[in-house]
């Protein structure tokens, strides 16, 4: 053997040795790994090797693919390992992937104080106007995982720290998370910060513990006040836009209403809705209330037209995902308005969408007379989608009645 031949053998042996080490590493990783993360890693390795040039495939693009791959639904990912270079559909439009507001240093707009019309206003309007330009706040409790995978119906419920019992009853009744005929239903509560010191001291810790147990509370850093309900609306729309790429429909409502999920599903399933579904207890041509002692009083300085655009009572309404996304955009083009459901009506007007009035939504009460027996009649509730205002104990009771072997003389069509 001359020097040259010896050199050839050396080369061959070292190449084979190198390949053997690489192969061993791969086999070892594959056989040791039983847990899912390793499983995925192995598939990625195999995928890279199938390409023939294991090292060169590690371009930035394929890294992207792997990152996206981790976020994808696990079952789907495992059955289609070849899809690694494709982003999951998450990036439909340029929505950020996390809540991007992290500091609250929005200060009062004292420019207003010098103006005559402002000085004549009641204190709560002043408070509202001083902070109206503060659009978004950081999150204290967040659950991005709620929106992973395909969701048919996302139910979001406005609540406040102190209402633990209402949330508890909702989780046991209409807010129970379930899968109906393959359609996943998820529930979330929307909270701000407790509005006074006593509540802060006593209830905030409880809210955190409640969330630790159930994992279903979104909480933002703005004060929970009547006029800040609009912030709850805009924050939810932004949250939805950020985290929920695969939700079909959204039900949004109060924490003191009765809801029939069966009827919602029947309604959504049995008619073909075109785009822009927005349905609820819609009021047309409502006049702004000018009596000062009314909860909904609005001074001329805040709204000077004679009518509001059509809007649905905030107690409970349904919309489709596409419209929710567009509403987020529309909301950002408008100045905040202190009444949340009217504000949403203004957003719909911007989008030139007319909300649909449906008789199964009774967010302003079932019948005008509050003492009427009909308000306690389960056969009425059985045919409704939303009914306004029940105490937690009454809600539980009515829910049990409606879901018992209730015999009603007739079933009213929901559609």
Ligand X SMILES: *[C@@H]1O[C@H](CO)[C@@H](O)[C@H](O)[C@H]1NC(C)=O
Q: Which residue of 63, 133, 172, 290 would you call a contact of ligand X, by CB under 6 A?
A: 133
Q: Helix and strand tally (H, E) in the chain?
A: 14, 14
Nearest CB to ligand X, comparing residues 139 and 147: 139
* Distance from C-alpha of 89 to C-alpha of 71, rounded to nearest angstrom: 11
Contacts 24+ apart (CB under 8 A), 44-49: 44/69, 44/81, 44/84, 46/81, 47/81, 47/82, 47/84
Helices in 244-288 by DSSP H: which ranges? 261-270
* Distance from C-alpha of 288 to C-alpha of 349, rounded to nearest angstrom: 16
Nearest CB to ligand X, comparing residues 128 and 361: 128
Cβ 133 to ligand X shortest distance, Å: 5
- The order of strands in the sheet holding 386-387 is 258-259, 386-387, 361-362
Residue 157 sits at φ, ψ, to 5 deg, of -125, 125
| Among the listed residues 348, 262, 278, the one whose alpha carbon sits nearest the alpha carbon of residue 308 | 348
Q: Please tell me whether residue 99 binds ligand X under the rule CB under 6 A.
A: no
Cβ 109 to ligand X shortest distance, Å: 4
| Residue count, binding to ligand X (CB under 6 A) | 14
Nearest CB to ligand X, comparing residues 303 and 329: 303
Q: Which residue of 26, 44, 223, 356 would you call a contact of ligand X, by CB under 6 A?
A: 223
User: Which residues lie below 8 Å from residue 115, measured CB to CB, with a gap of 6+?
Assistant: none
| Among the listed residues 406, 405, 387, the one whose alpha carbon sits nearest the alpha carbon of residue 395 | 387
Contact stretch for ligand X (CB under 6 A) within 6-14, 128-136, 148-156, 255-263: 128-136
Cβ 111 to ligand X shortest distance, Å: 4
Element at 319 (helix H, strand E)? strand 316-320
| Among the listed residues 86, 51, 93, 80, the one whose alpha carbon sits nearest the alpha carbon of residue 66 | 86
Q: Please tell me whether residue 128 binds ligand X under the rule CB under 6 A.
A: yes
CB–CB of 153/268 below 8 Å? yes
Nearest CB to ligand X, comparing residues 227 and 249: 227
Q: Which residue of 222, 267, 343, 380 would you call a contact of ligand X, by CB under 6 A?
A: 222
Contact stretch for ligand X (CB under 6 A) within 82-90, 174-182, 223-231, 387-395: 223-231
Q: Please tell me whether residue 111 binds ligand X under the rule CB under 6 A.
A: yes
Cβ 344 to ligand X shortest distance, Å: 18
Q: Please tell me whether residue 234 binds ligand X under the rule CB under 6 A.
A: no
Decide the pairing of beta strands 282-283 and 217-223. unpaired
The pair of three-digit structure tokens given for residue 41, joined into one six-digit string = 């890693």
Cβ 214 to ligand X shortest distance, Å: 25
Nearest CB to ligand X, comparing residues 137 and 152: 137
Q: Which residue of 2, 3, 60, 105 would you call a contact of ligand X, by CB under 6 A?
A: 105
Q: Which residue of 114, 272, 294, 304 would you call a contact of ligand X, by CB under 6 A?
A: 304
Q: Which residue of 85, 109, 148, 276 would you call a contact of ligand X, by CB under 6 A?
A: 109
CA distance to 9, 14, 112, per residue, from 133 (Å): 77, 69, 12
To 10 degrees, the CA torsion angle through 192, 198, 201, 204? -30
Nearest CB to ligand X, comparing residues 337 and 381: 337
Q: Which residue of 227, 239, 317, 343 would you call a contact of ligand X, by CB under 6 A?
A: 227
Q: Please tell me whether residue 101 binds ligand X under the rule CB under 6 A.
A: no
Contact stretch for ligand X (CB under 6 A) within 44-52, 61-69, 221-229, 386-394: 221-229
Closest residue to ligand X using C-beta atoms: 225
Residue 15 burial (CB count, 10 A)? 10
Nearest CB to ligand X, comparing residues 38 and 226: 226
Q: Which residue of 43, 187, 228, 242 would you call a contact of ligand X, by CB under 6 A?
A: 228
Q: Please tell me whether residue 204 binds ligand X under the rule CB under 6 A.
A: no
Cβ 310 to ligand X shortest distance, Å: 20
CB–CB of 311/282 below 8 Å? yes
Inter-axis angle of helices 36-50 and 3-32, to 10 degrees?
Answer: 150
Distance of CA 279 to the CA centre of its chain: 18
Rule CB under 6 A: which of 308-347 touch ligand X? Answer: none
Nearest CB to ligand X, comparing residues 40 and 339: 339
Q: Which residues bind ligand X (CB under 6 A)?
A: 103, 105, 109, 111, 127-128, 131, 133, 222-223, 225, 227-228, 304
């Amino acid at each position: 053997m001359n020097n040259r031949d010896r050199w050839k053998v050396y080369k061959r042996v070292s190449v084979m040795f190198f390949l053997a080490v690489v192969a061993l590493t791969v086999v070892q990783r594959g056989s040791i790994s039983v847990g899912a993360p390793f499983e995925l890693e192995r598939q990625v390795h195999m995928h890279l090797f199938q390409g023939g040039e294991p090292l060169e495939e590690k371009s930035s693009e394929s890294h992207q693919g792997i990152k996206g791959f981790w976020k994808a639904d696990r079952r789907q990912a495992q059955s289609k390992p070849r899809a690694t270079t494709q982003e999951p559909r998450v990036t439909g439009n340029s929505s950020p992937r996390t809540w991007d507001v992290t500091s609250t240093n929005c200060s009062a707009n004292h420019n207003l104080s010098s103006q005559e019309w402002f000085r004549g206003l009641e204190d709560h309007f002043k408070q509202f106007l001083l902070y109206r330009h503060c659009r978004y706040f950081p999150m204290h409790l967040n659950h991005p995982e709620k929106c992973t995978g395909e969701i048919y119906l996302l139910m979001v419920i406005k609540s406040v720290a102190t209402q633990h019992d209402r949330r508890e009853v909702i989780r046991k009744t209409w807010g129970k998370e379930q899968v109906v005929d393959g359609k996943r239903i998820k529930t979330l509560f929307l909270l701000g910060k407790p509005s006074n010191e006593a509540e802060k001291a006593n209830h905030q810790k409880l809210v955190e513990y409640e969330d630790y147990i159930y994992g279903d509370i979104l909480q933002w850093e703005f004060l929970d006040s009547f006029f800040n309900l609009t912030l709850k609306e805009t924050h939810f729309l932004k949250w939805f836009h950020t985290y929920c790429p695969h939700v079909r429909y959204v039900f949004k409502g109060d924490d003191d209403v009765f809801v029939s999920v069966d009827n919602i599903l029947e309604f959504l399933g049995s008619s073909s809705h075109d785009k822009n579904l927005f349905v609820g207890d819609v009021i047309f041509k409502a006049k702004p209330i000018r009596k000062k002692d009314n909860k909904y009083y609005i001074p001329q300085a805040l709204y000077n037209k004679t009518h509001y655009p059509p809007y649905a009572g905030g107690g409970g309404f349904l919309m489709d995902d596409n419209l929710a996304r567009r509403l987020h955009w529309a909301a950002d083009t408008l100045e905040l308005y202190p009444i949340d459901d009217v504000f949403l009506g203004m957003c719909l007007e911007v989008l030139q969408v007319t909300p649909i009035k449906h008789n199964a939504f009774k967010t302003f009460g079932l019948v005008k007379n509050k003492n009427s027996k009909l308000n306690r009649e389960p056969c009425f509730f059985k045919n409704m989608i939303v009914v306004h205002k029940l105490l937690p104990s009454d809600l539980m009771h009515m829910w049990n009645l409606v879901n018992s072997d209730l015999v009603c003389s007739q079933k009213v069509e929901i559609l």
